[in-house]
Structure 1
Amino acid sequence: MEQRLANSFTVTVNETKFIENALISDIRVDGRRPFDYRNLIIRFGSEDGSSEVQLGRTQVIAFVTGQLVQPYRDRPNEGTFAIYTEFSPMADPSFEPGRPGDSAIELGRIVDRGLRESRAVDTESLCVIAGKLVWSIRIDLHIIDNGGNLVDAANISALAALSTFRRPECTVEGEDGQELIIHPPDVREPLPLIIHHFPVAVTFGFIGKENIVVIDPTHHEEAVMGGSLTVTLNTNGDVCAIQKAGGDGVLQSVIMQCLRIASVKAGDITSKIKNAVESYNTQRSLRKIKRHNPSSTVSNVAKHHA
């Protein structure tokens, strides 16, 4: 992965010195301290399984969909999931439409690795008929604006969308137990995914000869940083994945410092995701009650008889 993840933004020598000198005084160009995150906003669409995340100026939209497919032969009792990324040319002039570039593929891999290797999503619960039919979950990530640190924003967006996605309930009937019935949402309530934990990605940038560490780098900082480190962990402190990109080697003491900071940040982000999902579920329940409100039916019947 390139050190700037397809960031076409370039800075002058004077701008580079200004950023580095400010960091020596523990101040960043946007006014944050080295280990402060930008403002995080999580929104959801009207449909289940869609989310929009804003991290400062960075904006990512995620959509989760599911379809029934044949399972892999070596895992007949497990569903599957895959991540696809799309970089809009509006987000950054270096993004080209059409085939996903190396940066888009690498971004998807980092998010995928954190989710897959930590087995955050219960894939066994996605099995409908062992060896024949399982649910395949697809996550589409759309980069709308590249303001820096796409990895963290994309990761949060994927987790938020997965948390609100619901698949139709299926039952198997028939004499041979092979007749599949997919129940529509108005007959049976769709089922949410079983998510064991939230693997949250926290990215650090290394800037200047001193290798000054900052968290959640902006596109300005990505243009001058020598390397980055993305740590994916959950609130239990379990490290799910580590990605080091570009630059020189990092001291063990620095990595341990990053892990300690990332653990705290992951807890904060997890709380924000869960609170946002809880609010969405409340609104969803209210919408459902309005759609099935029996009082309106009763009043209509009363008017008719009157």
Structure 2
Amino acid sequence: MSYTPYRVPIVSKIRSKSLISLYKKGVRSDQRDFATPRNLSIQVGVIDKADGSAWVKLGNTQVLVGVKLEVGIPYRDTPNEGVLQVNSELTPVASPTFEPGPPDENAVELSRVIDRSLRDPKAIDLSSLVIRPGEKAWVLWIDIYVLDYDGNYFDASMLGVMAALMNTKVPEYEETESGEIIINREKGTPLKLNRRVALVTSVKVGDYILIDPNIDEELLADSRMVIAFDEQGTIVGMQKSGMGGYTRDELLKVIDISRNASQVYFKLLDQALQSGGSQG
């Protein structure tokens, strides 16, 4: 992760040595093992005026996601599909490293990773969002707000996005003789999803691979890997950042433990949708 240079938080040498000494014993500062995500809470339907919404707390990282559908014009190259738009905001209250103003490179990266993870595997049935081919279609806006940042907003954001999408209702509408679209948000049908996707983030600190890093672990990391999985465990996206490299065995290990973590996320996501809230 990159930060504004003069606002880069620093992990002290004493703290760094303390964390490394724990890793040598096979544990982390919060007593997790290397392959276990932090406690997860999910609540859906938290924004009354949104067509779908969710709040996620992963460890101490909190994310709010809202989904809104508006009538727009489909892209010329996809006249038979609705439009997907993903926006992210790293709110200044979440971290002293986040500043007000236009989205920085980190917010843009988060939006792009989420967008690709939905678009490339065709997770959303965009064809179901066409009103009049080539002329009118639903624009699906996904807005992500990082409210509290203690590391790994990728996984938390994707969980929030999926929970919100599964909670989304496409409004009913009527088309007048003049072609005007009259929206009725009091009634709607569930958004059609082709598959569900989870992101799993890991970092490499020295020789150690850590799933779902907290902020200290991210700052110590030599590299970061974000992998997108569907429910069958198929990799549908991957992004690496940082200067550190991976051996073949390390990469296979990252994929294996990340795939296992994705199944934990999907299980908790199911529980959240069944009960309106979940904790793991």
Same fold (TM over 0.5): yes
Q: Which residue of 2 aligns with 1:203?
A: 201
**Count of residue pairs the alignment pairs up:** 273
Q: Hey, what's the Cα distance between the residues in 1 that align with 2:119 and 2:3?
A: 24
Residue 173 of structure 1 deviates from its aligned partner by 6.7
Q: Which residue of 2 aligns with 1:241?
A: 237
Q: Which residue of 2 aligns with 1:106?
A: 109
Contact 2:223 2:245 in 1 (8 A): no
Q: Hey, what's the Cα distance between the residues in 2 that align with 1:275 and 1:107?
A: 25
Runs of 4+ aligned structure 1 residues displaced above 6 Å come to none
Q: Which residue of 1 aligns with 2:250?
A: 254
Q: SS of the counterpart of 1:184? A: strand
Rate the CA distance shift 1:198–1:60 in 2: closer, same or farther, 3 A: same
Q: Which residue of 2 aligns with 1:220?
A: 216
Q: Structure 2 matches for 1:72-151, cutoff 5 A?
A: 72-151=75-154
Name the amino acid aligned to 1:169. E
Q: Which residue of 2 aligns with 1:159?
A: 162
Q: Which residue of 1 aligns with 2:33?
A: 33
Q: Hey, what's the Cα distance between the residues in 1 that align with 2:18 and 2:123?
A: 42
CA deviation vs aligned residue, 1:82-125 (integer Å, no higher than 9, x gap): 11111111111111111111111111111111111111000000
Residue 196 of structure 1 deviates from its aligned partner by 1.3
Q: SS of the counterpart of 1:100? A: coil
Q: Hey, what's the Cα distance between the residues in 2 that align with 1:69 and 1:36?
A: 42
Name the amino acid aligned to 1:266. S
- Say which is worse superposed, 40-49 or 114-123, in terms of deviation: 40-49
Residue 279 of structure 1 deviates from its aligned partner by 2.5
Q: Hey, what's the Cα distance between the residues in 2 that align with 1:247 and 1:127?
A: 43
Q: Hey, what's the Cα distance between the residues in 2 that align with 1:110 and 1:7?
A: 24
CA RMSD of aligned residues (A): 2.1
CA deviation vs aligned residue, 1:177-203 (integer Å, no higher than 9, x gap): x745535244xx301111111110001
Q: Which residue of 2 aligns with 1:273?
A: 269
Counterpart check, 1:14 vs 2:14: yes
Q: Hey, what's the Cα distance between the residues in 1 that align with 2:3 and 2:263?
A: 26
Q: TM-score scaled by structure 1?
A: 0.84
Q: SS of the counterpart of 2:276? A: helix
Q: Which stretches in structure 2 are left out of the alignment for 5+ residues?
A: none
Q: Hey, what's the Cα distance between the residues in 1 that align with 2:70 and 2:228?
A: 28
Residue 36 of structure 1 deviates from its aligned partner by 1.1
Q: Select the residue among 263, 271, 277 that pairs with 2:259.
A: 263
The percentage of aligned residue pairs carrying the same residue is 30
